[in-house]
Amino acid sequence: MAQSALACVAPDQENPELDAFRADVIEGLSSSPKALSPKYFYDEAGSRLFDLICRLPEYYPTRSELEILTARAGEISAFAGPHASLVEFGSGSSVKVRLLLDALERPAAYVPIDISGPHMRAAVARLAADYPDVAMTPVEADFTRPLHLPALEGGRRLGFFPGSTIGNFSPEAAGSFLAHAGEVLGPDSALVVGFDLPKDRAVLEAAYDDRQGVTAAFNLNLLARMNRELGADFDPAAFGHRAFFNAEASRIEMHLESRRSQVVRVCGQRFPFAAGETIHTENSHKYAVPVFLDMAQAAGWHERAVWTDSRGWFAVAMLERR
C-alpha cells in the first residue's frame, strides 16, 4: 500500500497537517454543494504556480498593491517606529515584505507564518542573506488557527496580510480572522492588510481565468495534491477550471467542474459527480472601503490610513489596536 493511502487508514501523529487535510477533504466532498478550502492550494507546486499568476498581465492585484506599498512604505515605517517586529500572515514568496523591511527603521525580527513550509523556508533563506541583522523565525502553521508567536523583543508588532487573501474568507470568517490577528499580535500592535475593490466584471474575471491557463493549472493542482497525498484517483482531464463574478455576493468564485458523470475515490470513500457538478474551491470577495473598515472596527481594529492605487482598483489599510 502506498504511503499516501496509508495516511487514510490511521491518524499520522507526526503529520497533523495531513490529518487536517484528509478530514477537510472528506467533509468538503461529502457536503452539498461540494467545496474545499483555498488554503490547500498552497503545496509546493501550488505556491510556484501562484508566483506565476502574480506576474500575469491580467492579474492586477499584485502590481496594484506593490504600487501602494512602494508609495506608502515610509508612512508605515513611521507609524511602526524603530525595532518593530514584522509578522506576515501567509508569507508566500515574500516579495512584498522586502519593501517594508527596507523601509522599517532597524527592524528587530521577521516572523512569516505559512502553511507551505518548504516554499516559505526557501523564501526566508533568501531574505536572511539580504537582511543579516534581522532575526528570521519562520512558523509553519495554519494562520487561521490558534498559534503563539515566538518571543519577540523590541518595538511594535506590525502584522502584514497582503495580496487580498482576506477576500478568500467569507465576510464572517474575515471578521473572525481580523479579531484572531489582533489576539496574536497583542495590544498596541498594527496591521497592514490589502483588499480588492469592486470593479468591472470583465477585469475581475480575466484576472482569475487568464489566457495562458496558469490559474486553471493552479486550480487543478488541488486534484493532483489529493491524488498524491491522500491516494485519491481524480482524473484531472475530467475536470475543468471555471471562474466567474457573483455580483450579488460581490465575489469571484472558482470551481472545478466535472466534465462527465463519474465516481472518485478518496481514502476508501466513493464520491459521485454528476456532469457539470462542481467543487467550489475559492471565493475572492471584493470590499468597498467603508464595508471593510466597518468589519475591521467590529474586530477591534481602528483605521489609521487607507490608500488606493492610481486606478482605484485595490486598497491597503493600516490598522491599529489600541
For residue 115, what pLDDT is reported? 80
Say how far apart CA 148 and CA 42 lie, in whole Å: 22
Give the span between the Cα atoms of 297 and 309, in whole angstroms: 23
- Return the residue matching grid coordinates 474551491: 281
**∠ CA 225-128-38 to the nearest 5 degrees?**
25
Averages of pLDDT over runs of 10 residues in the chain (322 residues) are: 48 73 97 96 92 95 96 98 96 83 96 85 92 94 88 92 94 97 96 98 98 98 97 98 98 98 97 98 98 98 98 98 90
Cβ neighbours of residue 138 under 8 Å, at least 6 residues apart? Answer: 91, 111, 112, 113, 114, 117, 120, 121, 124
What was the pLDDT predicted at 11? 52
160 and 170 in contact (C-beta within 8 Å)? no
User: Could you tell me the residue ranges of all domains in the chain?
Assistant: 3-46+203-285, 60-199+286-320
Q: If 0-12 CB within 10 Å is exposed, 13-18 middle and 19+ buried, where does residue 48 land?
A: middle
Residue 218 · residue 284 · CB < 8 Å: no
Per-residue confidence (pLDDT) for residue 322, from 0 to 100 = 86
Question: In Å, how far are 129, 197, 286, 294, 317 from 290, measured between CA atoms?
Answer: 40, 11, 12, 6, 11
Using CA atoms, how far residue 263 sits from 1, 6, 146, 223, in Å, is 21, 21, 36, 14
pLDDT given for residue 62 in this prediction: 94
Question: Looking at residue 93, what is its pLDDT?
Answer: 64
CATH class of 60-199+286-320: alpha beta
